[in-house]
Structure 1
Amino acid sequence: MDSNRQPTQTPDPPPPSLPAHARLTLNRCNLPAVILGSLTYQHHPVDLELDGIAPLHTPLLRNLDAIPGHRARARHFQDYMRWRFLLDLPEEAGLTRGRRGRAKADYQRMVRGWSFDSDGREGAVLKRWVESRFGLLARHHAGPLHGRGSETYLRYVAAGTQGLYATNALESQLDLLYTYGQYELGRRAPADTHLRLYRGINRIDEHEVLERVGRHRYRVLLNNLNSFTSERERADEFGDYILETEVPRPKVFFYNRLLPDLLKGEDEYVVIGGVYEVRISVL
């Protein structure tokens, strides 16, 4: 027997991938869901681009480059949205007399609705949008969504469908809102790849735990859309423990400071889900 032979080292297990039951095969961006929803992506993110959005709206992005102030850029973006989607002219957008009320179901109403109740109709629309664009299936909406035949799942699908019915290209509005948010984050801090964000919870099993990797560290599967805060002190208002994680910049869908005066407060971030490594701490 060779006494100098070194013992074989067992390689570390690969980090958790996005489970098959939490993703779609197809999406509408430059990375498949199995990659963008993985732990590897959290550690090594790249920009996410929705199909066709940047080329279609090149004039908007070019004009934003020439505007120095954040508030002025936000006003320009909102003016562009009103012009592009005829938000002030529902009849010209093709909405008939009986459907004019649906013109109010625009991107701003979706954001306000999420802030008020993420399990409401607007929240269902946004989660269905994430499914379509990024291929990440919702895991929770007014209850766990573990079975496609369950009553909770059917109510979720119905709410999302009703929220989109007879709207003015609402999903395209959300595409552009995401793209603008990414533009602003990149302009504000181009070297930053991640944001440290916090979420108040009462129990770790409120989330789907895939693996425990330390005394206070877990790998979890988050819902496909989630609310976080940039202020640790605010997170303790929503639970007995604080979940802390590094969120890839491309996974920020919206944050309150993006459109000043639309929402109260400045610290909420709406984050696209998938597998994340998180740290749990006691208040």
Structure 2
Amino acid sequence: MEESPQVTTSLPRHARLPINRCNLPAVILGGVTYQTHPVPLELDGVRAFHQHLFTLLAPMDSHRERAALFVDYMAAHFCLDDLEQAGLSPGRVRKSRRNANYLRMVRGWSFDSDGREGAVLKHWVETRFGLLARHHAGPLDGRDSDAYQQYLAAGSHGLYGTNALEAQLDLLYTYCQYELTRQHPEETHLTLYRGSNRMDEHEVLGRCDDGGSLVLLNNLNSFTSERERADEFGDYILTAEVPLAKISFYNGLLPGMLKGEDELVVIGGVYAVRMDTL
């Protein structure tokens, strides 16, 4: 993918935080130059802390076997089947809170990305990558707006009383990147599509020389690998070359993970895209 010489816009200041918890600042990983020339993104300390998991995964040739090991590791490490052992007092936390784990967040996103689980995931992207949410049940007009405060409240409520939920999401992303590297060893990007009827989710910043658009995406977005599937979700189709490093999770990562057969959930920022109408 070649960058137009006139496309120089980076991630706007109002769409980023000054600090994050990965190896690149938001202003870099959220810009068009990163889309064109990506490097791996690593969350601080996650791979090193869970190195034993990746040592166990290394000799496994079967994706299915690796997925099963990952699920078992998550259950054991985070005591997902024995929350009292994790420190949650029996009877003091509602069942819905006790079951709020990484799989519930992902499945909740699949059913309603503007729901509580979606708020948790978007907040996770904010803290880990420094990319501010731009849309949640409507446009988020600045961090002091009522809409943004309501979004923060939803995310905080979704995290309350959970068992290291953000650490679970950290490891899910890290495992996703490990799998993508194994399955696409010679690739840096995937061509993905997004259908939408709500163009206010996408802030158009300018035009590219090739006729495409420079768009500020929400900090977390659903895409599909099949153009025909994107047609089912709206009259506007965005086509983007998405760096593998910006794929946070996808349907085939774990069995039954998402309801969409070809759904991939992509970290946002500024992208050069092609925008078509049906």
TM-score > 0.5, shorter chain as reference: yes
Question: For 2:163, which of 162, 168, 178 is the aligned residue?
Answer: 168
Write the mapping of 1:120-139 to structure 2, written as runs, cut at 5 A: 120-139=115-134
CA contact (8 A) 1:216 1:280 kept: no
Q: Relative to structure 1, is the Cα distance of residues 202 and 278 closer, same or farther in structure 2, using a 3 angstrom cutoff? A: same
Question: For 1:226, which of 193, 213, 221 is the aligned residue?
Answer: 221
Q: Secondary structure at the match of 1:159?
A: helix
How far the C-alpha of 1:262 sits from its partner, in A, is 3.0
RMSD of aligned Cα (Å): 1.6
Residues in 2 aligned to 1:14 and 1:141: alpha-carbon distance in whole angstroms: 28
Residues in 1 aligned to 2:142 and 2:50: alpha-carbon distance in whole angstroms: 38
Counterpart residue number, 1:4 = none
Q: Relative to structure 1, is the Cα distance of residues 126 and 203 closer, same or farther in structure 2, using a 3 angstrom cutoff? A: closer
- 105-114 vs 273-282, which deviates more? 273-282
Residues in 1 aligned to 2:222 and 2:119: alpha-carbon distance in whole angstroms: 14
Counterpart residue number, 2:32 = 39
Counterpart residue number, 1:258 = 253
How far the C-alpha of 1:215 sits from its partner, in A, is 7.4
Q: Deviations over 1:39-69 (max 9, x none)?
A: 0000000000000011101110011111111
Counterpart residue number, 2:93 = 99
CA contact (8 A) 1:91 1:100 kept: no
Write the mapping of 1:81-160 to structure 2, written as runs, cut at 5 A: 81-96=74-89, 97-99=91-93, 101=95, 102-160=97-155
How far the C-alpha of 1:98 sits from its partner, in A, is 1.1
CA radius of gyration, larger in? 1
How far the C-alpha of 1:204 sits from its partner, in A, is 4.8
How far the C-alpha of 1:189 sits from its partner, in A, is 1.1
Residues in 2 aligned to 1:262 and 1:21: alpha-carbon distance in whole angstroms: 33
Residues in 2 aligned to 1:52 and 1:22: alpha-carbon distance in whole angstroms: 25
Q: Deviations over 1:187-229 (max 9, x none)?
A: 0011110010001123655410110225741001000000000
Residues in 1 aligned to 2:208 and 2:257: alpha-carbon distance in whole angstroms: 40
- 142-151 vs 68-77, which deviates more? 142-151
Number of corresponding residues: 273
Write the mapping of 1:48-87 to structure 2, written as runs, cut at 5 A: 48-87=41-80
Question: TM-score, with normalisation over the residues of structure 1?
Answer: 0.93
How far the C-alpha of 1:281 sits from its partner, in A, is 2.1
Question: For 1:18, which of 11, 14, 32 is the aligned residue?
Answer: 11
The runs of at least 4 consecutive aligned structure 1 residues that moved more than 4 Å come to 203-206
- 146-155 vs 26-35, which deviates more? 146-155
Question: For 2:206, which of 203, 211, 214 is the aligned residue?
Answer: 211
Q: What is the letter of the counterpart of residue 94 of structure 1?
A: G
Residues in 1 aligned to 2:105 and 2:252: alpha-carbon distance in whole angstroms: 16
Q: Relative to structure 1, is the Cα distance of residues 69 and 227 closer, same or farther in structure 2, using a 3 angstrom cutoff? A: same
Residues in 2 aligned to 1:94 and 1:100: alpha-carbon distance in whole angstroms: 14
How far the C-alpha of 1:259 sits from its partner, in A, is 0.4
**Structure 2 portions without partners, runs of 5+:** none
Residues in 2 aligned to 1:114 and 1:187: alpha-carbon distance in whole angstroms: 26
CA contact (8 A) 2:110 2:259 kept: no
**1:272 matches 2:262:** no
Question: TM-score, with normalisation over the residues of structure 2?
Answer: 0.94
Q: What is the letter of the counterpart of residue 155 of structure 1?
A: Q
CA contact (8 A) 2:201 2:217 kept: no
Counterpart residue number, 1:28 = 21
**Structure 1 portions without partners, runs of 5+:** 1-11
CA contact (8 A) 1:125 1:164 kept: yes
Q: Secondary structure at the match of 2:121?
A: helix
Q: Deviations over 1:99-157 (max 9, x none)?
A: 16222000000000000000000000000000000000000101111122322111100
How far the C-alpha of 1:185 sits from its partner, in A, is 0.5
